[in-house]
Amino acid sequence: MKIVVDYDLCESNAVCMGIAPEVFEVRDDDFLYILDENPDESLREKVEESARRCPKQAITIVD
């Protein structure tokens, strides 16, 4: 699985970071960073929930 973020849509509101802090991080500069673009399959549920709950639907999962 690969995580793709549309940074034109992303507001860095950290909803995804709250769900999957192993994968997403909003830093002091108020930008979202993907810590692991290809996370382990064991994190799929968290990553899918992050994508679903993103207020701007900026997160996509590519298999």
Instruction: Indicate the SS3 state at residue 23.
Output: coil
* Residues 1-46: tens digit of each pLDDT: 999 999 999 999 999 999 999 999 999 999 999 999 999 999 999 9
CA atoms within 13 A on the CB side of 37: 3
Q: What is the pLDDT of residue 5?
A: 98
Taking residue 59's Cβ as centre, other Cβ atoms within 10 Å add up to 25
Q: What is the pLDDT of residue 4?
A: 98
Pairing relationship of beta strands 59-62 and 32-34 according to DSSP bridges: unpaired
Please, what are the domains in the chain? 2-62 (3.30.70.20)
**25 vs 31: CA distance, rounded Å:** 8
If residue 4 lies in a helix (H) or strand (E), which one and from where to where?
strand 2-5
Quote the distance between the C-alpha of residue 3 and its chain's center.
Answer: 7
